A and B are shown apart, each in its own frame.
Chain A
Amino acid sequence: MVLPEGSEQARAATEEVARRSYGKLVAFLAARTRDVAAAEDALSEAFASALTDWPRNGCPRNPEAWLLTVARRKTVDMFRAAQRHLSSPDELESIEAVLAAPAESEIPDERLAMMFACAHPSIDAATRAPLILQAILGLDAKRIASAFLASPAAMGKRLVRAKEKIRQAGIPIRVPGREELPGRLDTVLNAIYAAFSEGWTDPAGADAARRELTGEALYLARLVVSLSPQEPEALGLLALMLHAEARRRARRSRAGEFVPLAEQDQLLWDHAQIAEAEALLHRAGSMRRIGRFQLEAAVQSAHVDRCRTGAASWSHVVELYDALLGLTGSPVVLINRALAIAEVEGAAAGLNAMPDEAADARLTEYQPYWAARSELLARTGEFAQARRANEIAIGLERDPAVRQFLERRRADLPE
């Protein structure tokens, strides 16, 4: 390296552009060639070129356009090298033509179209969210694998297969028509929420890439809302995520300890985000088509309202969880519902309403299940059992701040 300082700057600049433009450029290229893997390859070569070119010649005025020009050339080269594989000699020409489309004008944002292709019903259901995270946000298979509790090798294979399917089966990279939209939207919303949740696992915001992830998920949700303002579940998802985001700063003490909702400093809440979430939820409600995300956002809304006014609305929360349970049948909903029931009818009733780990083996490895059990057992005076459940919860938790919080709860348990 001749100019280590310059290359450092170039690295920072490319990283910045990568964060902002990666998905947009992949979507632009893939929408025209239907080849996601080729788009990713071309783009990573373009980023590599930037790392050698920018320190020497300075950062271009429009880095995004620079990268697209290089990636476009690499794509044409790739297709030329593979020309013998092309079904018709015109194909290369047509690829050159469609890639050339916008010259210096604004690069169109086709990320939403890309998301619909990734969430196509003909793609393996478990691979849709990982595929969106990779194609839109550029996450590598290793990180996606850890978020979805899969081995990196297996996740890598699934992603490769899904991209092959888009290309070979001819899955279109475009936003579906009005009749199809509601059904297809579900898979897209679930994937956006999965991305948000991964970013959420780092509430202290120490990891910049993860913090960026919740921002990207919010951006994607806003994009979906602006495209389909008549879809209440899209509004519900955005409301749910905004509620969570609004309380981010209050979830950790200065010392980095986890702070439960009831003890949070409300001055640290982002009240503009809460107001926006409430308005979205109100709009969604007026459409009279209830769904999972609207219900979850309504639970958040009830919690915020209780903390602000001091007026308990637990029976309303139980009703919301009843409705959610009817929609999802999820054991996670059962746990939260049991905690709400405990507030209305007492801890013993809450314990009775808890799901049984014998009925669902996944619960034995689910930290919130054991933490909730421990809380309810402590309230019924079963301290020895509460201590045991608390220990299991600590053993399962990977976030040190939450572990610390659980340890403090254990210290508070009477002998």
Chain B
Amino acid sequence: MQYLLLLHAEEAGFMRMTPQQQQQGMAAYMAYTEALTKAGAIKGSNRLQPVATATTVRVVDGKSQVLDGPYADSKEQLGGYYLIDVPDLDAALSWAARCPGASHGIIEVRPIWTMGEPAPAGA
């Protein structure tokens, strides 16, 4: 099954770090990505630019509304993602726990909706 690991963290935290700490942080992510690759579990990954670069768009009454800033204005922001392919949720959760982002933020694990799959009955 494929899962998207959504990495949420306080953006300002990274900015407050010393260059040396930032470098260490980057190295940890590189090692993590390497491990995922070695395990054959990675499908894709990206780091996002800070939320200051975000723009939201929605169409109301046929007119598009474009607003500056991210959709969710919370303390932690979405800062990147990993798309992984693993046997089950437990495997996805254990990869999420190994991600450096789990130590300085929160990782949301979401299964990918397979094309053609019926909608949940309880929804």
CB contacts under 8 Å to B, within A148-169, are 157, 160-161, 164, 168-169
Can you list 30 A-B pairs with a CB-CB distance of less than 8 A? A82-B118, A84-B116, A85-B117, A85-B118, A86-B116, A87-B114, A87-B115, A87-B116, A120-B89, A122-B93, A157-B122, A160-B121, A160-B122, A161-B120, A161-B122, A164-B120, A164-B121, A170-B3, A170-B87, A170-B88, A170-B89, A170-B92, A170-B111, A171-B89, A171-B90, A172-B87, A172-B88, A172-B89, A176-B90, A180-B90
CB contacts under 8 Å to A, within B102-123, are 111, 114-118, 120-123
B17 within 8 A of A: no
Return the contact of B116 from the options A85, A120, A160, A172 (Cβ within 8 A): A85
CB contacts under 8 Å to A, within B71-115, are 87-90, 92-93, 111, 114-115
Find out whether the CB atom of A164 lies under 8 angstroms from the CB atom of B122: yes
A332 within 8 A of B: no
Closest to A116 in B: B90
A113 within 8 A of B: no
Most buried by A among B87, B90, B117, B121: B90
CB contacts under 8 Å to A, within B1-40, are 1, 3
A37 within 8 A of B: yes
| Inter-chain contacts of A176 with B (CB < 8 A) | 90
| Inter-chain contacts of B122 with A (CB < 8 A) | 157, 160-161, 164
| Inter-chain contacts of A82 with B (CB < 8 A) | 118
Closest to A172 in B: B88
Least Cβ–Cβ distance between A159 and chain B, in angstroms: 9
Return the contact of B121 from the options A37, A84, A170 (Cβ within 8 A): A37
Find out whether the CB atom of B111 lies under 8 angstroms from the CB atom of A168: yes
Chain A binding site: helix, strand, loop or mixed by DSSP? loop
Closest to B2 in A: A170
Cα A20 to Cα B93 in complex, Å, equals 35
Interface residues of A (CB under 8 A from B): 37, 82, 84-87, 120, 122, 157, 160-161, 164, 168-172, 176, 180
Q: Which 4 A-B pairs have the closest CB atoms?
A: A172-B88, A161-B122, A160-B122, A87-B114
Cα A180 to Cα B111 in complex, Å, equals 22
Least Cβ–Cβ distance between B120 and chain A, in angstroms: 4
Find out whether the CB atom of B116 lies under 8 angstroms from the CB atom of A170: no
Return the contact of A122 from the options B87, B89, B115 (Cβ within 8 A): B89
| Inter-chain contacts of B93 with A (CB < 8 A) | 122
Find out whether the CB atom of A171 lies under 8 angstroms from the CB atom of B118: no
Return the contact of A87 from the options B87, B111, B117, B123 (Cβ within 8 A): B117
| Inter-chain contacts of B120 with A (CB < 8 A) | 161, 164, 168
Cα A324 to Cα B111 in complex, Å, equals 40
Cα A160 to Cα B119 in complex, Å, equals 13
Closest to B88 in A: A172
Least Cβ–Cβ distance between B80 and chain A, in angstroms: 21
Least Cβ–Cβ distance between B112 and chain A, in angstroms: 10
| Inter-chain contacts of A169 with B (CB < 8 A) | 89, 111
Cα A180 to Cα B114 in complex, Å, equals 29
| Inter-chain contacts of B111 with A (CB < 8 A) | 168-170
With A84-B116, A85-B116, A180-B90 already in contact, 5 other A-B pairs whose C-beta atoms are closer than 8 Å: A87-B117, A161-B122, A164-B121, A170-B88, A171-B89
Return the contact of A172 from the options B3, B90, B118, B121 (Cβ within 8 A): B90
| Inter-chain contacts of A87 with B (CB < 8 A) | 114-117
| Inter-chain contacts of A157 with B (CB < 8 A) | 122
Cα A161 to Cα B118 in complex, Å, equals 14
Closest to B92 in A: A170
Most buried by B among A122, A170, A176: A170
| Inter-chain contacts of B87 with A (CB < 8 A) | 170, 172
Closest to B116 in A: A85
Least Cβ–Cβ distance between A128 and chain B, in angstroms: 15
Least Cβ–Cβ distance between B98 and chain A, in angstroms: 14
Contact (A171, B88) CB under 8 Å given A160-B122, A164-B122:
yes
Cα A176 to Cα B90 in complex, Å, equals 9
| Inter-chain contacts of A172 with B (CB < 8 A) | 87-90
Least Cβ–Cβ distance between B100 and chain A, in angstroms: 21
| Inter-chain contacts of A86 with B (CB < 8 A) | 116
Cα A85 to Cα B114 in complex, Å, equals 9
